[in-house]
Amino acid sequence: MLVEQGLLSAAEKCFKDAIELDPGYVEAYANLGKLQYQLGQVAAALENYNRAIQLNPADAELYFNRAKVLWASAQLKAAEENFSKAIELKTDYSEAYCNRGVLLSASGQFDQAVEDFDEAIRYAPDLAVAYSNRGNALSELGNTEAALASYDRAVQLNPDYANAFFNRGNLQTSTGLFDDARESFKRAIQINPEYAEAYYNRSCLEEYSQESDADIDFMETQIKRQDLADAELKYYYFALANAYERKQDFARHFALLLQGNRLRRKELDYNFASERDAFATIKALFTDIPDHVQPPLNADEPDLTPVFIVGMPRSGTSLVEQILASHSQVHGAGELARLRKIVMPIIRAAVREGRSNDRSDVRDDIGKVIRSDYLGYLKSLNLQEKFIIDKSPLNFVFLGFILSAIPSAKIIHVQRDPVAVCWSIFKHNFSGDANGYAYDMDELAEYYLLYEDLMEFWQTRFPGKFYHLDYEEMTENQEVETRKLLEFCGLDWEQRCLDFHSTKRAVKTASHVQVRKKMYRGSSSAWTRYEKQLQPLISRLAAAGYL
């Protein structure tokens, strides 16, 4: 009763009094844990759930609730184990299946996640959230038709499920169904008029004609609110920046962009010094290798060819992937996070354990995990195509490890005008936290210099192993450059590679709109409108000799 009335402090005292009177009162521990979890007192909540489970180890709901607390405290493995225990005790526990599925998705285990969502649906056929989450996992697996069907079922079951409409809009965007995506985002906003992220995602598709002025007026009102959290506010700033850019009010566009970037940078746990140290550590691991690296004796050549498209984000890597993925022998897998996830922990451990100078051992450790885990993952996809593209631009950091572990890999390095690529990065709100340098002009310039320095280093260590593709040259001489690109990969000419914009595949990067259009020329000069505002960036690049 006290909790329902909002008298949380009084409720907390009552639960504690009950426990003091009866130390074996399981329900009091459980209720106190639930209240503390709601109040953000995660450690205290966990302690009370531990006590409740000690008293009653056969209660599935206690494990389920403890799993949520463990999840909130970033103890993901323990959280998964507790969801599993809840399911063991209650085999039809649909909510536990659904939550475990979300947890598995967050760790990239999408196949297992789909199995959990299927089980949740088996026991609760009307559970709309399970269908929506299932759609997310299927989307990540590249099964777009099944994912769309799952989203459709979610909104059929719950027509007021804003998040399901939002998720469906994201997938429709990635597959080029832009009109359908606008409608999905519109419906999400109708259900939840303050769905900031939906406004932002829709803004990436809108042309902002006069009919859109009501949306702009609403978002202008939102950014003036004092009670809005920064996490929501940033989406309105980025959405408004997109709107004013379409309306060619470039001064307002840049001012709003600065505010969005400021809020985005503020929320990230990003340390540029750590980034610089990581680059230095990686270079140190390759200071003693010979000029020509031979395939490791214990490395079996795979029956597939990984193709890595690398460079700075927004340099044209999505365009190059779309061109190659239009070929009948090539599968575009998009931006795979797997390589970063398996390599970075080994590098960090080497630094912690003082093994930075133990170069060959660390390189061997990383090579083994790339060959077993990364190549194993690519093989598990069971694709007909023998060329598989990993278009994660920041894989340029790991090129030495890639070529040492997979000598047959094809490396395509996409280069673009330095100011153009930095400006394109600065104006984009990236998902995830891999691009923490992107929201501050000084950090962005410094990161670009780190990238150039490392790429020069890799070229000295692995000469002749990279195909350097000039983005501007590709846009000006499409067929000539496409033929050269296919020749490097060992692929026969196919006319369909020139018609890349017609290729039906999901594109989940910031360039999802551009790759649906014919080759566009002139984008690399867009920054000149902002030359005055970008002087801190331009001056730093010029001083380093890159302009």
User: What residue numbers bound the domain in which 388 lies?
Assistant: 272-543
Residue 196, domain member (yes or no): no
Q: What pLDDT is attached to residue 96?
A: 97
Q: What average pLDDT does range 426-453 have in this prediction?
A: 95
Residue 213, domain member (yes or no): no
| Whether the predicted pLDDT of 15 surpasses 80 | no
Q: What pLDDT is attached to residue 506?
A: 60
414 DSSP 8-state letter: E
Concatenated DSSP letters of 97-111: HHHHHHHHHHTT-HH
Over the chain, what is the mean pLDDT? 88
| Whether the predicted pLDDT of 227 surpasses 70 | yes
Confidence of residue 354 (pLDDT cuts 50, 70, 90): low
End-to-end CA distance of the chain: 68
Residue 433, domain member (yes or no): yes
Q: What pLDDT is attached to residue 382?
A: 85
Lowest-confidence pick of 147-161, 199-213, 344-358, 514-528: 514-528
Q: What average pLDDT does range 439-465 have in this prediction?
A: 95
Q: What average pLDDT does range 97-101 have in this prediction?
A: 98
Q: Which residues of 467-505 are buried (b: 16+ CB within 10 A; e: fewer)?
A: bebebbebbeebeebbeebbebbebeeeeebbebbebeb
Q: What pLDDT is attached to residue 42?
A: 87
Residue 159, domain member (yes or no): no
The whole-angstrom separation of Cα 133 and Cα 21 is: 43
pTM, full prediction? 0.87
Q: What pLDDT is attached to residue 223?
A: 96
Lowest-confidence pick of 1-10, 303-312, 352-361, 438-447: 1-10
CB 158 within 8 A of CB 188: no
Q: What average pLDDT does range 202-229 have in this prediction?
A: 89
Pick from 321, 289, 320, 491: nearest CA to 399 = 289
CB 255 within 8 A of CB 535: no
Q: What pLDDT is attached to residue 513?
A: 53
Residue 131, domain member (yes or no): no
Q: What average pLDDT does range 36-43 have in this prediction?
A: 85
Radius of gyration for the chain, computed over Cα atoms and rounded to the nearest angstrom: 26
Residue 5, domain member (yes or no): no
The whole-angstrom separation of Cα 238 and Cα 264 is: 10
Q: Which residues of 123-141 are buried (b: 16+ CB within 10 A; e: fewer)?
A: bbeebbbbbbbbbbbbbbe
Q: What pLDDT is attached to residue 288?
A: 73
Q: What pLDDT is attached to residue 27?
A: 84
Q: What pLDDT is attached to residue 75?
A: 93
The whole-angstrom separation of Cα 492 and Cα 357 is: 44
Number of residues in the chain: 547
Q: What average pLDDT does range 402-411 have in this prediction?
A: 93
Q: Is 205 helix (H, G, I), strand (E, B) or coil?
A: coil
Residue 75, domain member (yes or no): no
Domain harbouring 513, CATH code:
3.40.50.300
Pick from 68, 36, 30, 35: nearest CA to 52 = 30
Q: What pLDDT is attached to residue 518?
A: 58
Pick from 270, 191, 199, 185: nearest CA to 228 = 199
Residue 389, domain member (yes or no): yes
The whole-angstrom separation of Cα 429 and Cα 61 is: 39
Q: What pLDDT is attached to residue 297?
A: 41
Q: What average pLDDT does range 325-335 have in this prediction?
A: 93
Specify the number of domains making up the chain: 1
CB 95 within 8 A of CB 62: no
> pLDDT of 114-156, one tens digit each?
999 999 999 999 999 999 999 999 998 889 999 999 999 999 9
